[in-house]
Structure 1
């Protein structure tokens, strides 16, 4: 017996769901790439500091972002079962995770200096690592909450709003990077601090 034939419409439906999510994931990569390019133009120290500080922040944040992302699973289950009254509470649970994660990330902020001193990088790189890491940690809530709210849409099969939110976040991030890292148009030049501020602001815009 041959494998059952899959209707062409199934592929179209799958692509309609998947393509926006693929592009959304690509927007994250694009944001980080642009951050690194601008910081490389600003100074080699800023570029050197952004990578370890960014990786450490992402590692700590992933626990909460991943947990909040499970909202999509519950939303999809309740949407398919036509139990819409359960969708709202599921999303709120994700937002509670975002709040807990934001508090946890804020508690790590005072430890940034000692952590990067242990690494043993040059003093100027340590200073910039500390600044970048602290500011990223303070932006924990929008970064985690975005994952929960994205689950509300993607779990119901509405993935295009998720993509457009990520496009907006990318545009905000690139614009603020350019204006504030180099001090364009009368804005103060803020260097690596701006890269973190731009990332936090872009996550806020995505909400």
Structure 2
């Protein structure tokens, strides 16, 4: 393929996905900013901890589990020209994902207080966090449903509609945040409750838009007529989804465990870390957009058996994602205090100091994160969800968690030492996954050469 065309194709698919991630980041940042400005570190800790629990489980079981399997299967089937099978896998994925959504809604709605207490929340943080989590469990129903529909669209190389639905979510969420948290005009001042209500309303609005598009304008339709295929099609889907879910579970649960360690080390440490993580999303959210493009494009090229073009697509995604994330790394190095001060009251001097240190250290993990995200997406796109799981689990549980335990329980060091540990973790992770990708792509190209030789022999006959 001509190199310019490769970049054009990548950007056509990746830019809407990057835009979608930037909108999510904007929601997260401004939501955190408004809650922090309204209630200080107590409300910030309550909302951050409740959101961390909720979205960890959404990611494990839907966003990075069944949705990844759906995108991979749909893109490969469409690459093979098999629209019928793509439709069947899309519907079976929605059936499975919807059942899981209902179970988790009941758990989070009924046991919000117990879950937060187990995480180490106490006093006002526990009270406000329980309220936030129980209300936001209603948003889970619609958010998880939208992620399933987005998985179908991405499998069809449509990243525009997920972008538009995210824009609807952003406008609805932030407008209601402002009105309901602070009580503007005729609206009551609801604080954390207002932030939760805004989350639910925005989730409903975005889901309705996405569902309407899929059912009226898309090549794939959601219908109960495929229900009889659950037994037949779910085996292959679950075979792909389980390693992807286990990977996200391994990564998210290890991250959540570290968050609990940080919470127990003190509210100042916890608030500083949450602000630093939110700020860092300026970088890794766009990187995740290129990872989405990598999964879809790799799946299509693999289905079409165009393996050399697959390699070119991966190279373009890597170069572009590293360029963007490298640029934000420079910003993190130069302006960390200015970025951090947006999220918390100016009198929280120690929180600002610690968060700025974390961000400056985090600049040195951005290129490794870019490599990890893109190559992880490529392997999943070609149907290998097992290898990313093994690498991620090893990275999380043999590097991240032991180092966190050492830092907080043995040495009792400040929060920024955890960010040094993360730089070590992502450097090793990126090196291993790059080695595996190079080995796998070499094997795939050898297969292509073999196919070409067979075709020449057949032609000569």
Query: Normalising to structure 2: TM-score of the pair?
Result: 0.42
Cα distance in 1 for partners of 2:21, 2:98 equals 23
Stretch deviating more after TM superposition (152-161 or 30-39): 152-161
Q: What is the deviation of 1:24?
A: 0.8
Cα distance in 1 for partners of 2:203, 2:125 equals 26
Higher relative contact order (CA 8 A, sep 6+): 1
Equivalences, count: 203
Which runs of 5 or more structure 1 residues have no equivalent in the other structure? none
2:52 aligned residue (51, 55, 64): 55
2:39 aligned residue (19, 37, 43): 43
Cα distance in 2 for partners of 1:164, 1:86 equals 27
Stretch deviating more after TM superposition (139-148 or 106-115): 106-115
Q: Which residue of 2 aligns with 1:185?
A: 185
Cα distance in 1 for partners of 2:66, 2:201 equals 20
**1:129/1:81 Cα in 2 relative to 1: closer, same or farther (>3 Å)?**
same
Does structure 1 residue 27 correspond to structure 2 residue 23? yes
**1:87/1:37 Cα in 2 relative to 1: closer, same or farther (>3 Å)?**
same
Cα distance in 2 for partners of 1:11, 1:120 equals 47
Q: CA RMSD in A?
A: 1.9
Q: What is the deviation of 1:32?
A: 1.0
CA displacement 1:10-46 (0-9 Å, x = unmatched)? 2101110011111111211111111111111221222
Indicate the structure (1 or 2) with the bigger Cα radius of gyration: 2
1:18 aligned residue (8, 14, 17): 14
Cα distance in 2 for partners of 1:67, 1:136 equals 21
Q: What is the deviation of 1:49?
A: 0.6
Q: Which residue of 1 aligns with 2:139?
A: 139
Cα distance in 2 for partners of 1:124, 1:175 equals 26
Which runs of 5 or more structure 2 residues have no equivalent in the other structure? 208-461
Cα distance in 1 for partners of 2:170, 2:96 equals 24
Q: Which residue of 1 aligns with 2:196?
A: 196
Q: What is the deviation of 1:81?
A: 1.7
Q: What is the deviation of 1:120?
A: 4.7
Does structure 1 residue 9 correspond to structure 2 residue 5? yes
Query: Normalising to structure 1: TM-score of the pair?
Result: 0.88
